Chain A
Amino acid sequence: MSTTLFSKRLSKELIDLKINPPAGIEVAESDTFKCWKLSLDGVEGTLYAGERFTLEFRFTPNYPMESPEVVFVGNIPIHPHIYSNGHICLNVLYNQWSPVLSVRSVCLSIQSMLSSCTTKEPPPDNNHYVKTAKASPKQTQWSFHDDSV
């Protein structure tokens, strides 16, 4: 049941993203239901205008019950909530995940997080975190304290 749910929902999301892509978001790679890559453009008039980033989504067969693993790859934006290894500190990716969210809404959330940034600077504990973090950000115990950026 869960495998059919998983592939059915992901194919629907994919069709929706391809037919109806949100502004500045584009599916770059979606060969399997395991891993997708989406390109994310910085919104005009914000600090990231003109920059293009790549988000990597990794799904388990338990998606959408379980959150996807989302990280930036390649060119990683400098942002107070994005670590230089691509890990993103955003509650909806971890404890606040629910199936009502989707690849699209996560992308929009991250785009909005980038757009509302006022100073381009890495997180204060970046060096320590990057040294000690596991490969998957889902293994990190995140604490979400700043809802302004």
Chain B
Amino acid sequence: MSSTPFSPIVRIDRDLPSVVESDSHRLIVRNEERSGVISPSEIASTSTQNSSGNASTSTQISTDVRSLMLPEEIKDKRCWICFGEESDSVGKWVRPCKCSLICHEECLLAWITENQKSTALKKVRCPQCRTLYHLAERASLLLRVFSIVDSTIQSSIPYFTIFGVTFAIAVTNIHYGAYAVITMVGLEEGEKLLEGPWSWRICFTLPLVPILLIFSRARIADPVMPLIPMLFIRYDQLRTTMPLNPSLTISLLPWVRIVYNYSYNRLFGRLEQSWRRQLEPYSVTTDSENGENGNERRRENQDVLDRLDRSNAGRKIIGALCLPFISAMVGSFIGRFSFIRSRVPDTFHRNILGGCLFIVIKDIMNLTYKYQRAKHRRSRHIKNYTEFANEELTSNIR
């Protein structure tokens, strides 16, 4: 079969730009009708059609016939990768698929290599007709195995990362937990507690120590906090003895915390809120405002306050993590007084007491500070220039 009767199709191929150009408007209009984006590969494939002929038949003919032609038989070759033509480029021509695209072997090998950058032996297809490229190559079994191993490792990296980070956090948490336990119960008792093979209780509770300490500073965990110790306490530890069993003390702490927070808010909540509001610019008068506008304003203020709270996250976390060590310091300090020593003989309870004492003192100081700042703010007024002009003058003269 000779190629002459079909040369018009080949020539249209060469004239690709002009066909696209004259057709571009029509393409867009047609595209609008079905409201879809036309992809460049579609443009390219449309351009291979004879503009006067029916679309599907002309593609069919060109596919059938051209599939019989070797690259050497095609006139006016143009590489779809480097755009080189027969006249201005060198290299072996190949025609690896059933559509009209032909190219240099070197160019296509480069494109396949580019595609296989991430995974060797990845299958590559013609971008226009989706034909799989067939390569004559020497791929040994070993290379195939390596390629599979390589792509498996590549895809499993994120899971390893997550696992590693989780593991690192767990180890850090366990260390912190163990250190906090030793600090709270004292070195001797602590070593006894953490000695030997750990029970599942220790394995689970130690990493929870820093997490629960941090959550004890936020309100979101309020409903579950008292329940967590219940998961780990043994039944026989629930008996009330004097002094209390340390486990029981620990599981009572969340309740103490709730009662303390509740009564603190009842007693000082409003007061604190009003002091804080006084420290907001322009917000002293909003309380007296009524109606929707006032509500809006108040909500805005609340937003500002919330934002301030959030910016304190770092401070809260560090504070929470320091609590065991501060408790132990206060605990050992109050242990110097003989009347406390006689009433609370064990280190652990003295330290717990120390922690509670610290929190109460800290809150009192905080309140005082806020009160002082609010008072200071209320007492302020701006001096008119005339009020201090004389002072300034005299001091300048001096």
Q: Please, could you name 17 A-B residue pairs with CB atoms under 8 Å apart, sorted by A?
A: A5-B110, A12-B84, A20-B21, A22-B21, A43-B25, A99-B111, A100-B80, A100-B81, A100-B127, A101-B41, A105-B44, A108-B24, A109-B40, A113-B37, A116-B35, A118-B35, A148-B35
New contact pairs (13) apart from A92-B39, A98-B41, CB-CB < 8 Å: A5-B81, A9-B84, A21-B21, A43-B25, A98-B111, A99-B82, A99-B127, A102-B40, A109-B37, A109-B40, A112-B27, A116-B28, A116-B36
Complex contacts, B38 vs chain A, CB 8 Å: 108-109, 112
Q: Which residue of B lies closest to A66 (CB)?
A: B114
Q: How many residues of B contact A (CB 8 A)?
A: 33
Is there an interface contact between B36 and A64, defined as CB atoms closer than 8 Å? no
Residues of chain B having any CB pair with chain A under 8 Å: 17-18, 20-21, 24-25, 27-28, 31-32, 35-41, 43-44, 80-84, 89, 101, 106-107, 110-111, 114, 127-128
Complex contacts, B28 vs chain A, CB 8 Å: 43, 111-112, 115-116
- Give A104 to B39 CA distance when docked, in angstroms: 12
Give per-residue flags for A81-104: 1 if the beta carbon is below 8 A from chain B beta carbons, else 0: 000000000101000101111101
A34 touches B (CB below 8 Å): no
- Give A101 to B37 CA distance when docked, in angstroms: 15
Q: Which residue of B lies closest to A10 (CB)?
A: B83
- Give A123 to B337 CA distance when docked, in angstroms: 70
Complex contacts, B31 vs chain A, CB 8 Å: 112, 115-116
Question: A119-149: which have CB < 8 Å to B?
Answer: 147-149
Complex contacts, B20 vs chain A, CB 8 Å: 22, 104-105, 108
A75 touches B (CB below 8 Å): no
**Of the residues B17, B127, B128, contact of A20 by C-beta under 8 Å:** B17
Residues of chain A having any CB pair with chain B under 8 Å: 1-2, 5, 8-9, 12-13, 16, 20-23, 43, 46, 62, 64-66, 90, 92, 96, 98-102, 104-106, 108-109, 111-113, 115-116, 118, 147-149
Min Cβ gap A88→B in Å is: 12
Q: Given A100-B101, A100-B127, is A149 in contact with B37 using a C-beta cutoff of 8 Å?
A: yes
Q: Which residue of A lies closest to B110 (CB)?
A: A65
Min Cβ gap A110→B in Å is: 9
- Give A9 to B38 CA distance when docked, in angstroms: 24
Q: Given A22-B21, A99-B80, A100-B128, is A65 in contact with B111 using a C-beta cutoff of 8 Å?
A: yes
Complex contacts, B37 vs chain A, CB 8 Å: 90, 109, 112-113, 116, 147, 149
Q: Given A100-B101, A147-B37, is A5 in contact with B82 using a C-beta cutoff of 8 Å?
A: yes
- Give A105 to B28 CA distance when docked, in angstroms: 13
Q: Is the interface of B mostly helix, strand, loop or mixed?
A: helix
Complex contacts, A43 vs chain B, CB 8 Å: 25, 28
Min Cβ gap A48→B in Å is: 12
Q: Is the interface of A mostly helix, strand, loop or mixed?
A: loop
Min Cβ gap B115→A in Å is: 9
- Give A100 to B128 CA distance when docked, in angstroms: 8
Min Cβ gap A107→B in Å is: 9
Complex contacts, A92 vs chain B, CB 8 Å: 39-40
- Give A99 to B127 CA distance when docked, in angstroms: 8
Q: Which residue of B lies closest to A20 (CB)?
A: B17
Complex contacts, B110 vs chain A, CB 8 Å: 1-2, 5, 65
Is there an interface contact between B36 and A147, defined as CB atoms closer than 8 Å? yes
- Give A109 to B111 CA distance when docked, in angstroms: 22
Q: Which residue of A lies closest to B27 (CB)?
A: A112
Complex contacts, A108 vs chain B, CB 8 Å: 20, 24, 27, 38, 40, 43
- Give A13 to B84 CA distance when docked, in angstroms: 11
Min Cβ gap B168→A in Å is: 26
Complex contacts, A104 vs chain B, CB 8 Å: 17, 20
Min Cβ gap A92→B in Å is: 6
Min Cβ gap B46→A in Å is: 11
5 tightest A-B contacts by CB? A105-B40, A98-B127, A65-B114, A99-B81, A12-B83
Complex contacts, B127 vs chain A, CB 8 Å: 98-101
**Of the residues B25, B39, B80, contact of A23 by C-beta under 8 Å:** B25
- Give A16 to B19 CA distance when docked, in angstroms: 13
- Give A102 to B41 CA distance when docked, in angstroms: 10
Min Cβ gap B174→A in Å is: 35
- Give A147 to B80 CA distance when docked, in angstroms: 26
Min Cβ gap A104→B in Å is: 7
**Of the residues B18, B40, B43, B84, contact of A8 by C-beta under 8 Å:** B84
- Give A149 to B27 CA distance when docked, in angstroms: 15
Min Cβ gap B147→A in Å is: 21
Min Cβ gap B133→A in Å is: 12
Complex contacts, B18 vs chain A, CB 8 Å: 20
